Structure 1
Amino acid sequence: MIAGAWGFAGSLAGRLALLLTIGMSISAITALFVAEEARRHDFAQFLDERLVVSAVDIVGRMTRAPDETAALLDHNQIIGAHRANPRLAVPTGSDSSLDAALRDRLGVRARARGLQVPWQYCFARIPYEWTHRAAGFFVPQLPGCWVVSYNDAKGQRISLAFDLPTLSLPPSAMLNPLFLLLIVAASGALSVVVSRLATAPLRRLTSASRAFARTIDAEPVAERGPSDVRETMVAFNTMQSRVREGVRERTRILASISHDLQTPLTRLRLRLEQVQDATLRDRLIADLGATLALVRDGLDLARSSESREEWSVIDLDSLLSALAEDAAEFGAKVHFVGGCGAQARVKPDALSRCVTNLIDNAVRYGGGADVSCTRRADAIEIAIRDYGPGIAEDLLPKIFEPFVRGSGDSMDNGTGIGLTIARAQAETFGAQVNLSNHPGGGMVAVVRIVG
C-alpha cells in the first residue's frame, strides 16, 4: 500500500492531484475569509441603520413638535432617546460610515455626526443597579450608547443620546480549524478523482503501447474522449497501422525472395548430383542444404514477429507432453518430466513453435531435453533443460541475438537463429524467454507466462 501511494505521488496524476488540492483549498479558504468579512460588514451596517432610523425619528419629531418632544426628552419619556448628558463634553471623534448614513437621511445642511460613546452619555447611573435582586436574576448587558449631533432649522447645534440593545455578531464556524481541515480533505479527495479521470486516456495509451510492443497485431486503442485526446489516439492508431504494414511488407518481400530462390537452388542441387567426385559432391550438397536452411530460418524469423493467430485458453500439460512425444518419435531424448495442471491464455501455435525451437536447440547442443511446467505466484514457467556443456556466462546476454552461437564443436551446427525465433514467438503472446546455466550442468531455458 505504501509503495502504491508513493508511486501515485510520483505520477502525473499525483502531481495534478496535489496542485488541484492546493489550488482548491486556497480558493475555498480565501472565499471563506471574504465571506466572513462581508458578514462583519453587513452586521456593522445593520447596527448603523438601527441608529439612523432612531435619529431620523427623533429629528422629525423635533421638527414637527419641538416643545413637546423636548419635554419628553428632558423627562426621559422616550425609550431609547435622551438629551445628551450636559455635564459631559460632546465627543470630537467621528465614524465615517455612520456620518455618511446620517447625511444621506438628514441632508447635508444638517451636518449630522454620530459616534458610539460610553454609557454615561445616556444614563446618569447604571440601569438595574439595585441593592436587592431576586435569586437567579443577572444584570443584563448594558445597552450601547451613541451621540448624534446635528444643526436644526434655526442653525442651533443639538446633541441627542441614543441607547440601543447590544447585539453581538454570532460566532462563525467557517474559520474553525476542523472545518478548514475538512475543506482540505474534501479538496484532496475530489482532486484525486479528477486527476485519475484526466489521466485515464494516458493510461489507456500506455497499455496500448505495451500491447503493441509485445505484438504488432495488438488491438487499436479506443478513440474516445476530448478532441485533443481523440487526435492523439488517432495518431497512435495510424502509427500502429503503418508499422504493421511495414513489417508485413518486409515479410512479403522476404517470402518472395525465399520463393524465388527455391527454383535456382533446386536446379543447383540437380546439377550437383552430376558431380563425379563423391567427396566433393557431398560437401557441395551439404553447403547447399545449409544455404536452404538459412533461407528458411531467415523467413521464419521475419514471420515470427507477425502473428495473426487468435488467442486461446489451452491446457499446458497436454501441449508440452505432446511436443515431447513428437520429438521422441524422431529418436530425440526428450521427456516430459513434470506438469503443473495449469491453463493459460496464449497463442497456441506461437507457443508450440517457441517450445519446439527450444527443444530442438537442447537436442542439438545438449543431446536431449527434460520438459517441465511450474506454477508460480504470478506466472507459469515452462522449463526446457539439457545436459550439454552449457554456455560461457559472458555470452548469455547476447545469445538471443540473430546468428550468435556458443563456442565448441557441438555449437557448430545450426544457423544461430533458433533462439531468436523462440523469443520472438513468445513475445507475440506476452511471454518472456530466458536462458541460464543450470547448477547441475547443462542449460535451462525458461518460458515465463505472466497472468
Structure 2
Amino acid sequence: MIERLWSRVRGFLRSLTGQIFLLLTIGMSLAAMLALLIAEQSRSHDFQQWRMQRVVASAEDIGHRLQRDPKRVEAMLAAQQIMGAALAPEGIAVAEPDAELAKALRARFGPGSNPEASQVPAGFCFPRLRYDPSAGAAGVVNAPRPACWIVRFTDSTGARRSMALNLPRMERPPSMMTNPLYMLLIIIASAGLAIIVSRIVTQPLRRLEHAAESFSLSLDPEEIPENGPEEVRAALSTFNLMQRRARAGFAERTQLLAAISHDLQTPLTRLRLRLELVENEELRARLLQDHQAMQTLVKEGLDLAASTETQEEWSVIDIDSMLESMVEDAQDLGAPLRFAGGCGGTIRAKPNALSRCISNLVSNAIKYGGEAEIGCFRQGCRLVIHIRDKGPGIPSEQLDQMFEPFTRGASGQPGGRPGTGIGLTIARSLALTFDASVRLMNAEGGGLVALIEMKA
C-alpha cells in the first residue's frame, strides 16, 4: 500500500504537472513567508518610531512647562506628580546614547540644546517600593514596569535639565513566523493554488498528448480544436498541419502503390497466356509458379493500398457473434480453427476492416502454425482479440520486425515459408483504421499469439 502510494507520488512529481506544482508551492510559500517577515519588520520599525515620537513629545511638553513655571514644575517632577515624567535619579549616566532620538530632540529644542537620551532599565527610574501599578489601577496584576528613558538637554535659559520619561511597556504579539499552524496554512494554500495553476497550464499539453496518441493509433483522427492562449493555438495549429501532411503522404503512397499494382495486372495476364504456349512442361510449370507468385504479390499490394484508405463507417458490433460466425465459416471450409471463448458485450469499430484484419491473422496462424484458436477477453477499459497458433514461435527480438513490409522470418519459422511478407503489415494497417493496434507475442508452452487491442 505504502509502496504503491509512493510510486504514484514519485510518478506525479516526475510529470510536468508535478514539477510545476512543486515549484509553485515552494516559490509561493517562500514568497508568503518572506512577505510576512518583511511586514513584521516594518511593523516593528513603525512601533519604534511611534515610541520615539512619544518620548520626544513628552520631553518637549516638560520643557515648555519648565519655561513657564520652572519651580513649580521641578517640585512636581521631584514628587512624581506628573504622570510619565520625573526628575532623573542622581548618578545615572547615558552609557549608550540614542543618536536618532537625540537628533529628533535637537530638532525640537534647537541646535544649542546639546540633547542626550538613552533608554535605561525601569528599576533605575522607579524603585520597586515606590512604583506599584496594581495598587492604583484595577485589573493590573503583575504588570511589567514602564519603559524608561533618561533625557538631558539645555533649555533656553542655559539650565541643564535631566528628567526620566516613561511610557507603558507594550509587549509585541509573538511572531507568526514561529507559529507552525500558520506556516502550515501558508503551505496548504500555496499547494492548492499551485495544483490548480499547474493543471490549467498543462491542459493544452495533455490535449496534444492525447491527439498524438490517437494519431499513432489511427490514420484519420479528428483534428484538435485550436483554442487557448496564442502560443497554445500556434502549437495546436502546427500539429493539425502535421497530421494533414502525414495523411496526404500516406494517401499519395497508397495511390502510387495501387496504380502500380493495377497497371501490372494487364501485362501479367498477357504473360500468362504466352507462358501457356511453352512446350516444355517442366519449364512451363516453373514459369507459371513464378508468375503466380508475382500475381500474389500484386494482389497483396492492392490489399495493402486498400487497407490504409478504407472509408467504411463506424458500427456497433457484437464481438462474440462475429468471432463465432468467422469460426463456423472457416470450419465449413475445412480450416482447423477453434473458438476459445468470448468476452461479451459490444464494441464500436469498422466491421469489414475488423473482419479482414482478423481473417489475415487467422490465415497467417493456420498457414504457419498448422491450426489456430481465436477468442477475446477484457483488460481494464480495453478489449483484446487473440489468435494463437501451434507453431514454433518467433524469436522475441524479431517480433516487431514482422510488421515491416516484405519481412519474413528465417526458414522453418512462422513467416519463413514462401509468401510476400506483407500479411501482417496489412493487418496492422487495417487495425489503425478503427483505432486498434496489433502485436505479436510468444505463448507459454509454444506457439505464437497475435493480439488486436481496441477500446472496449
TM bracket, shorter-chain basis: 0.7 to 0.9
Q: Is the 8 A contact 2:347 2:455 kept in 1?
A: no
- The answer to whether 1:11 aligns with 2:15 is yes
Secondary structure in structure 2 of the residue aligned to 1:77: coil
Q: State the partner residue of 1:415.
A: 420
- Cα deviation, residue 294, structure 1: 0.3
Query: Matched residues in 2 for 1:367 and 1:115: separation?
Result: 107
Range moving further from structure 2, 367-376 or 250-259: 367-376
Q: Which residue of 2 aligns with 1:431?
A: 437
Match of 1:30 in 2: 34
Aligned position for 2:345: 342
Work out whether 1:39 is the aligned partner of 2:79.
Answer: no
Whole-Å Cα distance in 2 between the matches of residues 409 and 179 of structure 1?
A: 71
Stretch of structure 1 that moved more, 355-364 or 239-248: 355-364
Report the alpha carbon displacement of residue 297 of structure 1 after superposing the two structures with TM.
0.9
- Give how far 1:251 is off: 0.7
> 1:163–1:447: structure 2 CA closer, same or farther, 3 Å change rule?
closer
Aligned twin of 2:450: 445
Kept after mapping to 2: 8 A contact 1:383/1:446: yes
The range that moved more, 8-17 or 103-112, is 103-112
Q: 1:305 to 1:96 in 2, by over 3 A?
A: farther
**Aligned mates of 2:449, 2:117 — CA distance in 1:** 100
1:357–1:418 CA contact under 8 A, matched in 2:
yes
Report the CA distance between 1:245 and its aligned residue: 0.4
Q: Which position in structure 1 is the counterpart of 2:145?
A: 142
Equivalent position of 1:220 in the other structure: 223
Q: Which amino acid aligns with 1:161?
A: A
Q: 1:186 to 1:307 in 2, by over 3 A?
A: farther
Q: Name stretches of at least 5 consecutive residues in structure 1 with no aligned partner.
A: none
Name 1:370's counterpart in structure 2.
Answer: 373
Aligned-residue RMSD, C-alpha: 3.2
TM-aligned CA distance change 1:308 to 1:67, over 3 Å: farther
Q: Where does 1:2-401 land on structure 2 (aligned, <5 Å)? A: 2-85=6-89, 87-119=90-122, 122-123=125-126, 126-128=129-131, 138=141, 140-277=143-280, 280-377=283-380, 379-387=382-390, 389-391=391-393, 393=395, 397=399, 398-401=401-404
- d(CA) in 2 for partners of 1:317, 1:139: 89
Which stretch of structure 1 is more off in the superposition, 23-32 or 307-316? 307-316
What stretches of structure 2 of length at least 5 have no aligned partner?
A: none
CA distance in 2, matches of 1:394, 1:40: 73
Identity %: 46
Deviations 1:258-314 (A, max 9, x none): 222222222333334444555554543443232121012123224434444444332
Residue identity in the other structure for 2:204: P
Q: Distance in 1 between matches of 2:412 and 2:109?
A: 116
What letter matches 1:141 in structure 2?
P
CA separation of 1:51 and 1:284: change in aligned 2, threshold 3 A: same
Deviation at 1:4, TM superposition (A): 1.8
SS of aligned partner of 1:154: coil
Deviation, 1:236, is: 1.5
Cα distance in 2 between the residues matched to 1:395 and 1:155: 107
1:141 deviates by 3.0
- Which sits farther off after the overlay, 400-409 or 256-265? 400-409
CA apart distance, 1:142:
2.5
Q: CA deviation at 1:341?
A: 1.4
3-state DSSP of counterpart to 1:399: helix
Cα displacement (A) at 1:242: 0.9
User: Cα gap change, 1:137/1:239 in structure 2, threshold over 3 Å: closer, same or farther?
Assistant: closer
Match of 2:115, as an amino acid? A
- TM-score, structure 2 normalization: 0.86
Pairwise CA distance, 1:98: 1.8
The 3-state SS of whatever aligns with 1:146 is: strand
Q: Could you tell me how far apart the structure 2 residues matched to 1:209 and 1:104 are?
A: 75
Asked if the contact 1:334–1:369 (Cα under 8 Å) also holds between the matched residues in 2, the reply is yes
Q: C-alpha distance in 2, partners of 1:386/1:70?
A: 118
Distance change in 2, residues 1:215/1:106 (3 Å): same
Give the C-alpha shift of residue 128 in structure 1.
4.9
- Displacement of 1:357: 0.5
